Amino acid sequence: MSTRFVPLLLAVLLSAGPTLAEHGPQPPLPVHYLSIEDVPLMVEVADDWWEVQHGLMWRSELPEGHGMLFVYPDEEQRVFWMRNTSLPLDAAFISADGHIDEVVPLVPYSEEHVRSQQRARFVLEVPRGWFDRHGLGPGSRISGLPGE
């Protein structure tokens, strides 16, 4: 490839990500089953850069008993926002050993950055109030996480 086309190709690739995210929800992701203190939960698994960035944007519903699990290769402080997301959600920041460290409410359409207090390997988004309805929260153990 001629080196004169590299800047043009790079510009096209860099501009494609945000443009694609504006066009609607990503297709359903692979499904995985978790158990949080014996409460079952079906989650879509977002485990690559594009899936994580797109998340639940543009989705119109997230049924009770369903969620999205964001899987990262390492344990770091995580930052989430709700751009283009109309659903009221709760996010659980989860350590590599499978324990919930904190649960935070996420406000629909908010572009405020919500940062985990601790390092997290996983983040789980569920419909707002799901953790409370099941008596779950910080300290609860999740089994069935990818890589267990």
Q: Kindly report the pTM of this predicted structure.
A: 0.84
The mean predicted confidence, pLDDT, of the chain is: 88
pLDDT in tens, 28-42: 899 999 999 999 999
- The domain that contains 44 carries what CATH number? 2.60.120.1140
Inside any domain, residue 30: yes
Inside any domain, residue 14: no
Inside any domain, residue 20: no
The residue count of the chain comes to 148
pLDDT in tens, 99-142: 999 999 999 999 999 999 999 999 999 999 999 999 999 999 99
Question: To which residue do tokens 């390997």 refer?
Answer: 121
**Domain extent for 57:** 26-143
Give, as one character, the DSSP assignment of residue 35.
E
Inside any domain, residue 110: yes
Give CA angle at 133 (130, 137), nearest 5°.
Answer: 70
Inside any domain, residue 18: no
Inside any domain, residue 5: no
pLDDT at 77 over 70: yes
Count the domains in the chain. Answer: 1
List, as one string, the DSSP characters of 24-68: -PPPPPPEEEEEETTEEEEEEEE-SHHHHHHTTTT-----TTEEE
Cβ–Cβ < 8 Å for 87, 57 = no
